[in-house]
Chain A
Amino acid sequence: MRHIISLLMENEAGALSRVAGLFSARAYNIESLTVAPTEDATLSRMTIVTSGSDEVIEQIIKQLNKLVDVVKVLDLSDGRHIERELMLVKVKATGVHREEMKRMCDIFRGRIIDVADGSYTIELTGSGSKLDAFLEAIDKSAILETVRTGASGIGRGDRILKV
């Protein structure tokens, strides 16, 4: 099953490679991994999307906790949470496509953030499946380039991951 794991770790050189190394060394899946510093500059927050049986996920959480640089680990999938991902898509926008792309962008509540003669760049935020749905909804041959951040997640209400 798919799990979103959030963790706080020391914002130190090499911390990211310890996590990435753990996943490859123990043959765990990584669907996506995002990391950036938090409001506390000594801490980084990482969101990892992974999948596996309950036993594997239990091991992943334990192994992450075992890393000396990791301060806290939370399996967001254990409770209510929100998940968002950002995607930038560059699409062909010529002729009939130009109007069609703007319409599709509006329907998915995206924003056109760059306009050029033959193309638009669209910014889209949402769950991974919403982004997938957008890519399926538009003409594939119109897609020039996509870049996705991978999921970020946060617990709902008073589910807070903090030191």
Chain B
Amino acid sequence: MQLTGAEIVIRSLHEEKVEFVFGYPGGAVLNIYDAIYQQDAFKHVLVRHEQAAVHAADAYARSTGKVGVALVTSGPGATNAITGIATAYMDSIPMVVLSGQVPTAAIGQDAFQECDMVGITRPCVKHNFLVKDIKDLAATMKKAFYIAASGRPGPVVVDIPKDITAQTAKFEYPESVSLRSYNPVLKGHSGQIKKALKLLLEAKRPMIYTGGGVVLGDASELLTQLVRKLGFPMTNTLMGLGGYPATDRQCLGMLGMHGTLEANMAMQECDVLLAVGARFDDRVIGNPAHFFENPRKIIHIDVDPSSISKRVKVDVPIVGDVKSVLTDMLELLAESDKGPNANALKAWWQQINAWRDRNCLNYNRDSAIIKPQYVIEKLWEVTKGDAYVTSDVGQHQMWAAQYYKFDKPRRWINSGGLGTMGVGLPYAMGVQFAHRDAQVACITGEGSIQMNIQELSTCKQYHLPIKVILLNNRYLGMVRQWQEFFYENRYSESYMDSLPDFVKLAESYGHVGMHIEQSSDVEGALKEAFAMKDRFVFMNFITDQKENVFPMVPNGKGLSEIILAEDL
């Protein structure tokens, strides 16, 4: 049967069992939108800005593990999508972004709404395609989904000229894809895994450090088994939160620039380090030279060979899918007649507990002025630790990561790598579509929320019962914190003046707005908001203006050069 290019796009999405397409129409994609109008296998979500479409598709992927799909028009539609694509790329999120392009004959002629989408996205996609022949369209769609989801996942762009969407061809969707140039290694080398286990069992001060790869690779359960069997301490990166239950004693909390004292010290002083699906980035290990002052053996499991020995030279590299490698490692451990060094481990835990007893996340819980940390703690209580939490970027993001104890994977949705302000609200949308009955909280700041505030309208259109937790300190808090610490209190352009009345703003969109100024009102307000199960509630918490995020490892310093709140 002959189908138009637009119909082939839609049928391909059906074949991939796509549930939601987040998008925004325009000239170059009119044929595709016409085909969308005539189908109901997936739901199209109309956003108010293309950036939000891509973020929402990204969050859908993060919270479900499925490939997110966004659809934008050529030119400005395509360029508006870039921040969303780069955000997903940095965090290895499987996503397919379909962009319209001017007709084939007009490409390169500076046509109306023309932009070299393949060129402009090249540095921030896993791969991209420009479809030049309708006969390639179905196969390209198949490849795009395959590449996006396999190996180390990432966003793939398919740029489709308008004339291709109007031409016709026979529709045959390939059953499978085989690319001679792309064959991710999934099974870890058994010799290397053996070597790794031997090192772990001989360790006196072992440490397990896990990242987003555990969450993306659906390996949380296996990781939990391994950590419990070994009895070792473990820490999560920002992207790895929820990969292991945060309320478990063996979890030392997040590490890195705003990580806990116990996690950072154990990371620095361990003698054997097992890194799982994490990439030793600059916010995690601080100054690499300082990190190496303490000698330790490093085992690194990652599906992407280029993540291994990139910033930190490792002793036992294991290239493979985290799930597959951990399965093999657990089997080997079960067969092993040797266990971990119990005496050494006992002494190591005593040391760790001494660090833990410093209670580095302590803050003034009796403050009348609302402490941002307090809001997060109460949010955790009110939602019973079971909400999907999205965040924007800045101080509130760090507080959310520190004080909301994630026990399950795919519950913590934030922009870790690119650090994109403005993701919070569209992320919450993507999550709420994927999990219609779940509690979804968007923790944000007054700076970030205004970067995609237009999406309040989308939330109204689709009746999304998101709860926005705005920690409003009238400052770009993280910028202000750095200016206080490193620029002698010169608060250059970090004060947020002329803020809207957020309650009225929310109400103007038909949502519920709440204004909270007293600590004593926080818990009640949260309960009231979450009791409104079918309403979008915008909660404006007026928080302590000059609260800082602690602990902090200053930029360029080592992990053990950590500053605690009590030090100042």
Contact = CB atoms under 8 A, between A and B. Distances in A.
B122 interface: yes
A14 B132 CA distance: 13
Interface stretch (B69-77, B177-185, B202-210): B177-185
Contacts of B309: 55, 58
Interface stretch (B123-131, B513-521, B528-536): B123-131
Interface in B115-156: 118-119, 122-123, 126-127, 130, 147
Contacts of B119: 17
Interface stretch (A62-70, A74-82, A113-121, A131-139): A62-70
A83 interface: no
A10 B179 CA distance: 10
Nearest to B180: A71
A5 interface: no
15 contacts: A9-B181, A14-B118, A14-B122, A14-B130, A17-B119, A21-B122, A25-B123, A55-B309, A58-B309, A59-B306, A65-B306, A68-B181, A68-B182, A71-B180, A163-B180
A148 B171 CA distance: 48
B91 interface: no
Q: Count chain A CB atoms within 10 A of each CB in B127, B130, B179, B181 and give the residue with the most.
A: B181
B382 to A, nearest CB: 44
A25 B119 CA distance: 13
Contact of B310 (A14, A21, A25, A59): A59
A107 to B, nearest CB: 45
Given A59-B310, A62-B306, A63-B306, A68 B130 contact: no
Contact of A55 (B147, B180, B313): B313
Contacts of A18: 122
Nearest to B151: A66
A94 B306 CA distance: 56
B291 to A, nearest CB: 15
Interface in B267-325: 304-306, 309-310, 313
B248 to A, nearest CB: 35
A62 B308 CA distance: 9
Given A55-B309, A62-B305, 17 more contacts: A13-B130, A17-B119, A17-B122, A18-B122, A21-B123, A55-B313, A58-B309, A59-B306, A63-B306, A66-B306, A68-B126, A68-B127, A68-B179, A68-B181, A69-B181, A70-B181, A71-B180
Main secondary structure on A side of the interface with B = helix
B38 to A, nearest CB: 33
Nearest to A58: B309
Contacts of A13: 130
A47 B309 CA distance: 25
B123 A68 contact: no
A17 B127 CA distance: 12
A91 to B, nearest CB: 39
Contact of B304 (A17, A25, A66, A69): A66
B147 A68 contact: yes
Contact of B181 (A10, A17, A59, A63): A10
Interface in A130-163: 163
Contacts of B304: 66
Nearest to B126: A68
Interface in A18-46: 18, 21, 25
Contacts of B181: 9-10, 68-71
Nearest to B122: A21
A71 B181 CA distance: 4
Nearest to B181: A71
Interface string B104-121: 000000000000001100
A65 B119 CA distance: 20
Contacts of A163: 180
Contacts of A70: 181
A18 B127 CA distance: 9
Contacts of A14: 118, 122, 130
B55 to A, nearest CB: 23
Residue among A9, A25, A68 with the most chain B CB within 10 A? A68
Contacts of B305: 62, 65-66
Contacts of B123: 21, 25
B202 to A, nearest CB: 27
Interface in A49-66: 55, 58-59, 62-63, 65-66
**Which 7 pairs of residues, A with B, have the shortest CB-CB distance?**
A62-B306, A71-B181, A68-B127, A68-B182, A25-B123, A62-B305, A21-B122
A60 B38 CA distance: 48
The listed residue with most A CB atoms (<10 A of its CB), out of B147, B182, B309, is B182
Interface string B498-519: 0000000000000000000000
A44 B295 CA distance: 45
Contacts of A58: 309
Nearest to B184: A66
A86 to B, nearest CB: 29
A156 to B, nearest CB: 26
A21 B151 CA distance: 22
B518 to A, nearest CB: 50
A10 B181 CA distance: 8
Contacts of B306: 59, 62-63, 65-66
Nearest to A68: B127
Interface in B151-199: 179-182
A13 B119 CA distance: 11
A57 B142 CA distance: 34
Nearest to B118: A14
A134 B386 CA distance: 74
Contacts of B127: 68
Nearest to A25: B123
Contacts of A21: 122-123
A71 B309 CA distance: 22
Nearest to A60: B306
A18 B125 CA distance: 11
B233 to A, nearest CB: 29
A25 B86 CA distance: 14
A22 to B, nearest CB: 8
Interface string B313-353: 10000000000000000000000000000000000000000
Contacts of B126: 68
